[in-house]
A and B are shown apart, each in its own frame.
Chain A
């Protein structure tokens, strides 16, 4: 069974379009994240939700809007896509509490904006 899954795996779209990426985890975790990995492989956190509540919102353009319908799902909607949005987006999950902060990542969604 896949622990953290994302759809789609690849997304190719044109500038100005709106697109969504979906994420689901079956680990029973209460915290989920969205990360962006750029072409240099640098991984940066974008958002984090704990039990459907937004707890981390890094400096991300308003065009990005996360939504968590329940603690097992976290979706990312992107409006008015720009060339600079091209990257690999990873969903991750963890269990809050303690100091280990271990996260489990999905396979990623490669977004290409043309």
Chain B
């Protein structure tokens, strides 16, 4: 069974601070995705990384895939209240089948105070 450990579970910070969310596993994933979910809505895909060591930037968000494709991090620079939400990492793998599936981390609830 593929497991993804996401930390921290809760993060409460002031506007302008930096933060990092981690996603770790003992398993190798074909891809790693980060989603953001707002209350009353479904998760929305932010980014997908597929190559070990890959770094992607989305404005103030920086995503990194570990060299061994077992872990990932999300770093937010100068957080803003609009960044508040639930952040989910998800590892994609085929598990020997022809069809991929996602294993989700437990999620990080981020609150950015003005």
Contacts and interface: CB of A to CB of B under 8 A. Distances in A.
Q: How large is the interface on B (under 10, 10 to 19, 20 to 34, 35 or more residues)?
A: 20 to 34
Nearest to B86: A41
Contact of A42 (B33, B99, B104): B104
B71 to A, nearest CB: 17
B104 A43 contact: yes
B104 to A, nearest CB: 4
Interface in A66-111: 90, 92, 94, 96, 99-108
Contact of B99 (A43, A50, A108): A50
B107 to A, nearest CB: 5
Q: Which residue among B33, B42, B98, B100 has the maximum number of chain A CB atoms within 10 Å of its CB?
A: B42
B97 A101 contact: no
A94 B35 CA distance: 14
Given A104-B45, A105-B42, A107-B42, A99 B100 contact: yes
Nearest to A105: B42
Interface in A35-56: 40-45, 48, 50, 55-56
Contacts of A90: 42-43
Interface string B85-104: 01010101110011111101
Contact of A41 (B33, B45, B109): B109
Interface string B23-44: 0000000110101010011111
The 9 A-B pairs of least Cβ separation, nearest first, read: A101-B92, A105-B42, A101-B100, A99-B30, A43-B104, A41-B107, A105-B43, A55-B99, A100-B48
8 contacts: A42-B104, A43-B104, A55-B99, A99-B50, A101-B33, A102-B33, A107-B42, A108-B42
Interface of B: 30-31, 33, 35, 37, 40-45, 48, 50, 86, 88, 90, 92-94, 97-102, 104, 106-107, 109
